[in-house]
Chain A
């Protein structure tokens, strides 16, 4: 881990929006998790929250791209772009897949995705800064 910890001084350019994404995503996961447990279908207003989450993810993307153009490249660019693509598609993908299910499992699908998104964002950060890439 010695080389990785030296590299981890690379700054993550989107720390505030990362916090927003994480909190919002976990909030949606909590709401949809409770809805699924209560046997409730996915209400339309949850889709608006996922929309907000997606906007935050786009802001995160823009901040990374700006930093990249400004000269701070991610430590592992290819892996970073792969994670970025997946995290950007996760929101729309889950809405498409979950909203088509009328019962409690529509809420369940969105809940699963909103647990996974924060994990992806953590990995995104690690791949950018070079921390924790070693064991992968």
Chain B
């Protein structure tokens, strides 16, 4: 497999277009977002279909997280200036979401309780993403940083 030698080196003084979100670190980012999108979507579908009434708030929050992950994944794959802005906005929503839901789950654990069994109910962003080894907390920071570093600039 040949190693690319920076094919898009540009002479100084020219406008540098934003780097592709499908290449380099972006490709790894898409992989992680796709994993979370599949995991959260499957999880929330299962929760909504089988036991929505038992704990509506955490299950709706899981669905919201699932939608956010799907949007970001699609936006990074689409890789156009407009979709790049969608990905950026999505990651901001993700970061705020995981911080708010994570704090909420610690401060008001009673919201995250199954009305039938009385047991705690996890949601994707419960305890800042505990079920997913806190990847949901770290990922938006890495993602936003990647988009910032690779954005277009005019020198």
Identity of the chain B residue whose Cβ is nearest the Cβ of A111 in the assembled complex: B28
Q: Does B31 contact A (CB under 8 A)?
A: yes
Cβ contacts under 8 Å, B30 to chain A: 97
Secondary structure call for the A interface: helix
Assuming A108-B28, A109-B27, A135-B122, is B1 touching A99 (CB within 8 A)? yes
Identity of the chain B residue whose Cβ is nearest the Cβ of A107 in the assembled complex: B28
Interface string of A85-126 (1 = CB under 8 A from B): 010000000100111011101101100110010000000000
Give the CA-CA distance A101 to B121 in the complex, in Å.
Answer: 39
Say whether A97 contacts B122, CB under 8 Å: no
Contact partner of A103 (CB less than 8 A), chosen from B3, B46, B122, is: B3
Give the CA-CA distance A116 to B135 in the complex, in Å.
Answer: 12
Contacts across chains A and B counted by CB atoms under 8 Å: 55
Say whether A102 contacts B27, CB under 8 Å: no
Give the CA-CA distance A97 to B73 in the complex, in Å.
Answer: 14
Say whether A101 contacts B27, CB under 8 Å: yes
Interface string of B30-56 (1 = CB under 8 A from A): 111001001000110011000000000
Say whether A134 contacts B31, CB under 8 Å: no
Contact partner of B46 (CB less than 8 A), chosen from A44, A79, A97, A112, is: A79
Chain A min CB distance to B71 (Å)? 19
Say whether A112 contacts B1, CB under 8 Å: no
Interface string of B1-36 (1 = CB under 8 A from A): 111100000000000000000011101101110010
Cβ contacts under 8 Å, A86 to chain B: 38, 42
Tell me how many residues of A have a C-beta within 8 Å of chain B. Answer: 24
Cβ contacts under 8 Å, B2 to chain A: 102
Give the CA-CA distance A95 to B96 in the complex, in Å.
Answer: 33
Say whether A42 contacts B1, CB under 8 Å: yes
Chain B min CB distance to A57 (Å)? 17
Say whether B3 contacts A109, CB under 8 Å: no
Give the CA-CA distance A112 to B31 in the complex, in Å.
Answer: 7
Say whether B3 contacts A102, CB under 8 Å: yes
Say whether A41 contacts B32, CB under 8 Å: no
Task: List the interface of chain B (C-beta within 8 A of A).
Answer: 1-4, 23-25, 27-28, 30-32, 35, 38, 42-43, 46-47, 119-122
